[in-house]
């Protein structure tokens, strides 16, 4: 897909807003409950790549237009390409999108309402933080149509316990927002009319911190999870030492000692 076509389709499928360093990406296929078509997958990946290269971005909010956050892959589109090579390519592209969220140097917050199912639930699990309306529902329900949600299982099982994840995967059952919060899939569940305020509050907390420290921290957090305890501590020690060499660390410590507010470098 060439750049011109991707840009045109992105504007239709994905709404983007950049407000003072906070980028909101809103999936815009409301009639399809924001199902992840090939175009939408590419549009999301394209915009996240732009964010990764923009030092002015401090936070990303991922949202959905209409009545739902995301209903997963576009099943109608998938059935129109009954080819093994096509399916392998599709799921690899989706998996790379999920990994690009965690590779992004700034936090990504999922703003969840309605349903988040299959790859939509995978999106929630892949984001660094997630805040949902208290009426939201979550499922990895591919099993109900004869398809085990294998790729969503990767992200889901890294958020909640193995037995809970497998129960969701093998039964396809929905869990409500209160359960999702209790299990650790989301950070908070609020009344739907308070959802935007809750997102804004979390964004404000992040924006008040040192940009350099946040970038060091996000990269370190995910890398150390795959290491042995000893290697993780060695790596974390190196990251913390390099973070200490940043202007913001010196400024923050001096401000604390001087009993004043720090002034971060941007």
pTM given for the model: 0.93
Write out the residue range of the structural domain in which residue 239 sits. 211-258
- Do residues 71 and 190 share a domain? yes
Q: Which residues contact 96 (CB under 8 A, 6 or more apart)?
A: 45
In a domain, 13, yes or no: yes
DSSP letter at 192 equals G
In a domain, 198, yes or no: yes
Average pLDDT of the residues of the chain: 94
- Do residues 145 and 36 share a domain? yes
Angle at 124 between CA 123 and CA 126, to 5 degrees: 65
Read off the pLDDT of residues 103-129 as tens digits, 9 standing for 90 and up: 999 999 999 999 999 999 999 999 999
pLDDT at 181: 98
Read off the pLDDT of residues 9-47 as tens digits, 9 standing for 90 and up: 566 899 999 999 999 999 999 999 999 999 999 999 999
Domain termination residue (choose one: 174, 191, 207)? 207
Residue 239 belongs to domain with CATH number? 1.10.12.10
In a domain, 264, yes or no: no
pLDDT at 170: 98
pLDDT at 266: 74
Cα torsion 73, 78, 83, 89: sign: negative
Confidence of residue 146 (pLDDT cuts 50, 70, 90): very high
- Do residues 233 and 174 share a domain? no
d(CA 52, CA 6): 18
In a domain, 68, yes or no: yes
Give me the number of domains the chain comprises.
2
């Amino acid at each position: 897909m060439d750049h011109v076509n991707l840009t045109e389709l992105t504007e239709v499928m994905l709404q983007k807003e950049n407000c003072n360093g906070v980028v909101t990406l809103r999936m815009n296929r409301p009639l399809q409950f924001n199902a992840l078509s090939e175009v939408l997958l590419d549009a999301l990946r394209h915009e996240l790549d732009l964010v990764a290269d923009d030092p002015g971005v401090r936070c990303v909010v991922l949202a959905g237009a209409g009545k739902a956050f995301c209903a997963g892959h576009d099943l109608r589109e998938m059935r129109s390409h009954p080819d093994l090579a096509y399916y392998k390519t599709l799921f690899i592209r989706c998996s790379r999108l999920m990994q690009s969220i965690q590779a992004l140097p700034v936090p990504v917050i999922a703003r969840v309402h309605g349903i988040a199912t299959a790859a939509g639930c995978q999106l929630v699990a892949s984001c660094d933080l997630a805040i949902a309306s208290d009426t939201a529902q979550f499922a990895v329900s591919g099993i109900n149509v004869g398809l085990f949600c294998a790729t969503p299982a990767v992200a889901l099982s890294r958020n909640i316990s193995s037995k809970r994840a497998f129960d969701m995967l093998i039964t396809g059952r929905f869990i409500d927002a209160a359960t999702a919060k209790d299990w650790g899939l989301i950070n908070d569940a609020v009344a739907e009319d308070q959802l935007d305020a809750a997102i804004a509050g979390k964004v404000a907390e992040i924006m008040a911190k040192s940009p350099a420290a946040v970038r060091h921290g996000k990269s370190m957090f995910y890398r150390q999870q795959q290491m042995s305890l000893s290697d993780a501590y060695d790596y974390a020690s190196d990251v913390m030492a390099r973070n200490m060499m940043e202007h913001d660390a010196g400024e923050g410590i001096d401000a604390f000692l001087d009993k004043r507010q720090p002034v971060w470098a941007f």
